[in-house]
Every structure is written in C-alpha cells, then in structure tokens.
Amino acid sequence: MKLEPAERMTVSETTVARVRERARLIRRSALEMIVKAGNGHPGGDMSSADILAALYFGVLRFDPKKPLDPGRDRFVMSKGHCSGAFYSALAMAGFFPEADLASYMKPLSKLNAHPCSAYLPGVETSTGPLGHGMPVAVGMAIAAQIDNAPYRVFVLTGDGEQQEGSNWEAGMTAGHRKLSNLTLIIDRNRLQQGARTEDTVGLEPLADKWRAFGWDVEEIDGHDHAQLLRVLAAPATPRHKPLCVIANTTKGRGVSFMCDQAKWHHGVPDAAQFATAMKELEA
Amino acid sequence: MTAVNLRTAYGEALVRLGRKDWRVMALEADLGKSTQSVMFQAEFPDRYFQMGIAEQDMTSTAAGMALAGMIPFVHTFAIFATGRAYDQLRNSICVPNLNVRICGSSAGLSDFGDGKTHQSIEDVALMRAIPHMSVVCPADSIECEKMMECLLDWEGPVYIRINRNDLPFVTPPDEPYHIGKVTQLRDGRHVAIFAAGVMVSIALEAAKTLEAEGISARVVNVSTIKPLDRDAIVRYAAGVEAIVTAEEHSLIGGLGSAVMEALRSVAHAPVEFVGVPDTFGVSAEGYDGLMARYGLTPATVVKTAKALLKRT
Ligand SMILES: Cc1ncc(C[n+]2csc(CCOP(=O)(O)OP(=O)(O)O)c2C)c(N)n1
Ligand SMILES: [Mg+2]
C-alpha cells in the first residue's frame, strides 16, 4: 500500500476500517499457518496483529515491487517469533504471493520459523533471537541522519524482550543522538514465555524508564486502530527525541480461549479449537 | 526410572543435586519448561532465579554467585548460552575458573522447528576453545544422570549439551562414570567410529549394518569432548583400517577436530568426519528429517566407513 505523505496526517474512517479488516485477516492467516505447520507462536501473533496492520496498511511508506528502495520506511520485527502475523502482513502488503504462506516452516521454505532477510523481500533484518532488533533499528536511524534521508524507522519488540540489555544500550544511544526518526513499539501484553513479565523480571515503570533514557513516550491501546494510526503516523519532524509507543495489548487477542494465557505463547490449536477461533475471527 | 527424554532426565538429576547440596542454584532465562529447570523451581523456589530474557546478565550473575561459593546452573537454549553470553562466559566465568554449570538445552539440530537462528551447531567449537571450560555431551539419559552427579565436585566451569528429544538407551547402566571417560560400546577391527550425543546411537545402528556386510566396527562414545582423554582416543583408534567421527555439530571445530587433535602426532588410519557442513540450519517439520538433510544418519556413517575402506 503506497501512501501519500498527506494521508499520514489525518486518520480517515476508511483507513481505520481498512486496518481493522487487515488485522482480522492477519489473525486468521497466522492461525491457519500455525495449524498447518504444527508450530508457531499464536499468542504474540494475535497481540501484534493490530500493530502490524496499522503499520503496513496505514503508516509505512513502501513499494513492495521495490523492497530495497533507499527511500522506504524501515520496519524491524524484533519479536521475530511472531512470524505468522509478520509474514501474513508482508504477503498482504504485496511483498510476496499470499499462496507462499502455506509453506510456513516447511524445509527449504523462505518462510523460516524466524524471519530471514536473505530469504524474503520486506524482511529488513533477520530476527528470532530476542534483543537484536532495537540496535539494528538504531543503526538504520543513524544512517538516515547521515544521508539526510526523510525515511522513518520503526521497530516492534515484545515486552518480555525488553529484559534484554541490548534494548537499553540501543535506547541510550538513540536518546543521546536524539533519533527523532526512530519509533519503538512495545507489544505490552504483559506475558512472556513462561509467566507474566511482572512476575518474571518486572518492567514497570516502563514509560518512566524510556523517558529517563531521553525518549518521548505514548501509552496507547494497542488494539485501537485509530489510536495506533494517530500515534504512529504522526510526522516525526516536530519531535526532537525518539518515540517509544507502549501498546497495551492482550496476548491471544481475538481468540477468546487464548487471551492472556502463557500456555498460548507457543501452543498449536487442535482442530476443534481452530474451528472455534476461525469462527470468532469471522467478519 | 530414568526418563528417556534427555531434558527430563536433566531436570530430575538437577533436583537430586539440589537435595544433596544446598550450594546448587538454578538460573533460568524464560525457557524453564523447555530446559526443564521448572522441576528445580518447584522443589527449591528459594534457590531458583528467573532472570528473564537476559542471558548475558544471567551468566554474569552466576559468576557472582560462584564467587561466593555456590554452584550455579544456568539454563537456556544452547545457542544463547554459548553465543549470546560468550564474553560473559569467557571472561567472568572461565578466566577465574569458576564452578558454574552451563546447560545448553535444545542443542544441535534438536530445536528443528525454530530454524537457523536457534539451532546450535557451533557451540562445541566455541566452548572447547575457551581455556578452563569442560564440554560434556551425554549420549543418553543414563549417562546424563551420571554426569550430573559429577558436577558437584568438578573444579571449574562445565558446558553440558542437552538434546531436546528422547534418545535410546545405549550406555551401560551399572558402569561407574567420571568426567573425561571415553567408553567403547562395541568392539570391531575394521573401522573405529567415535561419536558423541545423539550420534552414538546412530553409530551403533551403523555398526549393525556394517556387520551384516562383513565389516566390523568399533563404536566409541566420546561424551567428554573436553578435557579429551587423548590416550583413550589413541588406544581406540589403533588397530583399525579406518576412523570415522560422527557428531551433531559443524564439521568445523567439534568432535572430529578434537579427535584429529588427539591423533595428530601418532600414526593412524585415514579419518573422515560425519557432521553438519559449514552452513546454517533450516526450519524442519521433524528432527529425523533435519538430521537426514545433513547426513546425520546410520546410512551416511555406513557409507563413510565403506568409502574409507574402499568397499563401496
Ligand atoms: C535471546 C533469546 N532468548 C530466548 C528466546 C526464546 N523465546 C522466544 S519468545 C520468548 C518470550 C518472548 O516474550 P515477549 O517478548 O513478551 O513476546 P510476546 O509476548 O509478544 O510473544 C522467549 C523467551 C529467544 N527467542 N531469544
Ligand atoms: Mg509479551
């Protein structure tokens, strides 16, 4: 979806409706892929579907036919385990045929369990091991400054992922360098692999931490498409700091039995559960 | 009863160590169900430290605990234990030679689904190269349990490589074990096969096939890759016409390299390696399929032995 810069200023009803529909389709597609592959991370796919839909269908400027266009906005999917949702968004955005999604995790498939930039157009950098995306995004944002290029850099991390020190090292650099072209989105679903983040190694007060690192912080409902669009599509220019968007989400969102449960981090629905989920995700 | 699953056997053995010695602590980086450190957590919540997704921090924290006389076991996938936290391992743990135990779980290709970023096929090379570090790789759960018993008294850091899967029992249950032990599981006079981990059972299967074709194969389990019992390697490499090493690891720097280092100054039969070529892994639907993709099968071991013996 190629957007004119002007469209980024206002959030029209049509854009919101488009993003909402795409988010629904991303959820359905990710679940289909997981069931077919017998593997995947549905909880985090569902929690990030609205964020990905807002980015690819309302915020990022790109041309899928020219995935390496130097002027494109960059998006780094640091929570690479949520490749079901990420690949679905990329395919729907036109980077590769949607039919390819059926090959998810098959041997030799370009759709590896974790996104690999050597395999797939639209994947800016390989991820999967947590804590890699932020510093790479900072490097991209610095490169844009050096080149005096107007593109923006977005990176999505999990909230558990924030425990990796690399995020904070990169965050310090970004704050120090006032990388206003950089936006970090945290999928704040409050669960990591084994338990709640606050019962594991607590993150709060997360917003204050990022502010203390020299960032602007916005806390939003990460399932509210209008809010996502308003915050993410707002132009970077008036800001003098990098922006951290804490997107409050529910892990498993959209599928009632998956909501807010650690066991659906890495679970695969059986046939009956899949049918229930798909019914809930009907238009 | 020893669990067939290596991770389960590891988790149970850790609990036994915890009962024996209060100094045993467990640190985990949000993969407790995968590594089975959850078993220790259930019994010793006060000696279990959930460190979050922060492997470098976990590793150096263990160093601090070891400096105070504790025996910390750190847990995560092998790829993160050895790669992400390499500098912490090397400089905070190995330089001062601390009693930290590093459990590299889901090692080798055994994390078949997660693909190249999660499959650790260089970990043995990395760990072997650090002074003071010991590297052990159990062939089955029986051996894993015995190895764990040795980890209370062993001086210095130890890397223990744990496969994700059920492995067939291949090691003799009643034989005493010590770190450094190299065990001949089957004698033969034509070819000696040195294997580690999951490849031990695969080598034994290969030996059966070879026997049916009139080739007698010796199978040697090298479960301590470092410190390597060089005398034992030289002894078991003697008197055969061919030597094959078999490992679930890159051909660079693993068991094959260690065996060749041991044999470097003695006359020996021609050697060939079975292992993962110099490439990253891929996502696969199953473990067996992925092993087959890289030739980690009895058939490849057979073929390799026959090629060296010029019996193809
Ligand atoms: C360095 C590293 N350590 C551990 C893992 C295993 N792992 C994959 S997902 C995950 C939990 C992630 O939690 P969070 O960041 O909150 O993601 P989400 O809830 O959005 O799925 C863990 C521990 C990994 N991929 N990388
Ligand atoms: Mg989370």
Are B154 and B214 found together in one domain? no
Nearest atom within ligand 1 for CA of residue A128: 25
Task: Examine the fold and report which residue of B132, B161, B190 is the final residue of a domain before the chain moves on.
Answer: B161
**Residue B110: its H or E element:** none
Residue B311: per-residue pLDDT: 85
Peptide bond into B227 cis (omega under 30): yes
Are B276 and B222 found together in one domain? yes
For chain B, give the mean pLDDT. Answer: 97
Q: Is residue B176 part of a domain?
A: no
Q: Which residues contact A282 (CB under 8 A, 6 or more apart)?
A: none
The answer to whether the beta carbons of residues B262 and B219 sit under 8 Å apart is no
Residue numbers of the domain that contains B243: 182-308
SS3 per residue for chain A: CCCCHHHHCCCCHHHHHHHHHHHHHHHHHHHHHHHHHCCCCHHHHHHHHHHHHHHHHHHCCCCCCCCCCCCCCEEEECCCCCHHHHHHHHHHCCCCCHHHHHHCCCCCCCCCCCCCCCCCCCCCCCCCCCCCHHHHHHHHHHHHHHHCCCCCEEEEEECHHHHCHHHHHHHHHHHHCCCCCEEEEEEECCECCCCEHHHHCCCCCHHHHHHHCCCEEEEEECCCHHHHHHHHHCCCCCCCCCEEEEEECCCCCCCHHHCCCHHHCCCCCCHHHHHHHHHHCCC
Task: Examine the fold and report which residue of B112, B128, B161 is the final residue of a domain before the chain moves on.
Answer: B161
pLDDT confidence band for A1 (50 / 70 / 90): very low
Are B81 and B208 found together in one domain? no
- A92 near B CB under 8 A: no
Q: How far apart are CA B241 and CA A232, in angstroms?
A: 68
pLDDT confidence band for B1 (50 / 70 / 90): confident
Interchain pair B285, A37: CB under 8 A: yes
Least trusted range by pLDDT, from A6-20, A28-42, B133-147, B265-279: A6-20
The answer, yes or no, to whether residue B13 has pLDDT greater than 80, is yes
Q: How far apart are CA A132 and CA A125, in angstroms?
A: 9
Candidate of A50, A78, A81 to mutate for ligand 1, largest count of ligand atoms within 8 Å of Cβ: A81
Chain A residues within 8 A of B45 when measuring between CB atoms? none
Residue A238: per-residue pLDDT: 81
pLDDT tens for B134-181 read 999 999 999 999 999 999 999 999 999 999 999 999 999 999 999 999
Give bridge partners of residue B191 from the DSSP assignment: B217, B242
Q: Is residue B214 part of a domain?
A: yes
pLDDT confidence band for A5 (50 / 70 / 90): very low
Cα B181 to its chain centre, rounded Å, is 13
The answer to whether the beta carbons of residues B99 and B71 sit under 8 Å apart is yes
Are B151 and B193 found together in one domain? no
pLDDT tens for A193-230 read 999 999 999 999 999 999 999 999 999 999 999 999 99
Q: Which CATH superfamily is domain A8-280 in?
A: Thiamin diphosphate (ThDP)-binding fold, Pyr/PP domains (3.40.50.970)
ipTM above 0.90, yes or no: yes
Residue B284: per-residue pLDDT: 87
Place of tokens 């076991």: B73
Among A106, A126, A165, the residue with its CB nearest the CB of B57 is: A165
Interchain pair A160, B57: CB under 8 A: no
Q: Considering its fold, how many domains does chain B have in total?
A: 2
The whole-number average pLDDT for the span B288-311 is: 96
Chain B residues within 8 A of A113 when measuring between CB atoms? 113-115, 118, 283
Are B212 and B241 found together in one domain? yes
Q: How far apart are CA A42 and CA A232, in angstroms?
A: 24
Are B12 and B81 found together in one domain? yes
Percent of chain A with pLDDT over 70: 96
Are B194 and B294 found together in one domain? yes
Are B17 and B53 found together in one domain? yes
**A77 touches ligand 1 (CB under 6 Å):** no
pLDDT confidence band for B285 (50 / 70 / 90): confident
Q: Is residue B177 part of a domain?
A: no
Task: Examine the fold and report which residue of B127, B161, B195 is the final residue of a domain before the chain moves on.
Answer: B161
Residue A97: per-residue pLDDT: 98
Instruction: Give the CATH number of the domain where residue B211 resides.
Output: 3.40.50.920
**A173 touches ligand 1 (CB under 6 Å):** no
Q: How far apart are CA B70 and CA B63, in angstroms?
A: 9
Are B186 and B240 found together in one domain? yes
Instruction: Give the CATH number of the domain where residue B127 resides.
Output: 3.40.50.970
- B289 near A CB under 8 A: yes
- The minimum CA-CA distance between A25 and chain B, rounded to whole Å, is 24
> What's the predicted TM-score (pTM) here?
0.94
Task: Give the domain ranges of chain A.
Answer: 8-280
